[in-house]
Structure 1
Amino acid sequence: MSNDKIDLPLFQIEGVGMIGERLIDEAEKYFRRTPRQYKYKWLVFDKDDLSSNDFHRLIEMAESRGFRVAWSNECFELWLVLHFEFLNSGITRDQYITKLDKHLQDRGLATGYKKSDHAVFDFTFELTEVTLKNAENLNKQHGTEGNHTPSS
């Protein structure tokens, strides 16, 4: 690993369990309500079963409303797995969760992975640099159109 350092900004994560237009609408409402000002507003979602047309339409819609967009394909759990290991094979959601359970339990999160548990971010935050490099490597291998599994 190189000695290059990246500055990680202060950020706030709000999991809402939504996708599509509803996610965009709810994110807009959230940013209208909050007194905080953010330099960048990101939406992160699972591509999952979205058609290619819907996928591209939602990205364009979010970007036209001032959001930056990130996604994972097959599921968000890929992004979390990339904190711990490089993975370049399409596996099922259950297999991602099994991997996450093991990684998180090995690092002290006794309950393992639960999608709505914010403690997961405490265990993954320090590995953000690793994740970004793994995701960049995966994108180089598959491209950035979200048409390959896995992709991030």
Structure 2
Amino acid sequence: MARRTRAKDLTRKAGSRPELKTVVIFCEGEASEPDYINELKRLPEIRRSTSIKIEIAPENGVPLTLVKEAIERKSDKEVDECWCVFDVEWPDNHPNLDKAIRLAECNDINLAISNPCFEIWLILHFADQTAFMDNATARRRSCGLDGRTGKRIDATKYIPLRHEAFRRAKDLTKRHRSAGTSFPDDNPSSGMGKLIAALERGALGKGG
């Protein structure tokens, strides 16, 4: 009787092709955030090491909803990491932000939070921004910097400048820490750099 092929046997046969790390990223927005992440996926070093899947929040999705969906998805053994990308929103903050963050921390869900909104991360690719901003101001400045007229972005303008944005975001974090400013009053700020750093570390770990 032929011996049944086991999963380990299949793994050995496929050994010449390294297994990709699977990262699922849950996004609150359906335009600029996915545009940006999809372009990030195209970087050769990340493409060789990581399979990135993007999940868009249902209509009127809020951070707590995203985190709960990420927890459910992380139970899949094929998923290595889950990230939630969401905004704080000003002048009206999202509800249950603190609860969403605590729930994520307790369930090993990674967060990339932008305050007030994702546009602050886009701004940091081109310029410093230290003054407080509400959503409308951030969006106006972001559109002024890249010349777009709608929500979609040309992410090819951004990805080459991602490390500059990360440096500026880290400077903002230091500035808030020195001032004793804590979440959700750490406006402006963005944790998107942490997501990029994690993906690029994964690429290095895979020999990319």
TM exceeding 0.5: yes
Structure ranking higher in strand proportion: 2
In angstroms, what is the RMSD of aligned CA positions? 2.8
Q: Which residue of 1 aligns with 2:175?
A: 141
Amino acid at match of 2:70: A
TM-score normalized by the length of structure 2: 0.53
* Pairing 1:24–2:58 present: no
Aligned residues: 133
CA shift digits 1:93-138 (9 cap, x unpaired): 2222222212222xxxxx4440xx3x44333222210111011000
Alignment of 1:95 onto 2:137 = yes
After the TM superposition, which residues 65-76 of structure 1 pair with which residues of structure 2 at under 5 Å, given as runs?
65-76=107-118
* Displacement after TM superposition at 1:15 (Å): 4.1
Q: How does 1:2-151 map to 2 (within 5 A)?
A: 9=46, 10=50, 11-16=52-57, 18-30=61-73, 37-38=79-80, 40-48=81-89, 49-50=93-94, 54-105=96-147, 111-114=148-151, 117=152, 119-143=153-177, 145-151=183-189
Identity value in percent: 24
Q: What stretches of structure 1 of length at least 5 have no aligned partner?
A: 1-7, 106-110
Aligned to 1:4: none
- Structure 2, unaligned runs of 5 or more: 1-44, 191-208
Q: Hey, what's the Cα distance between the residues in 2 that align with 1:148 and 1:132?
A: 16
Please state how far the C-alpha of 1:71 moved relative to its aligned partner: 1.0
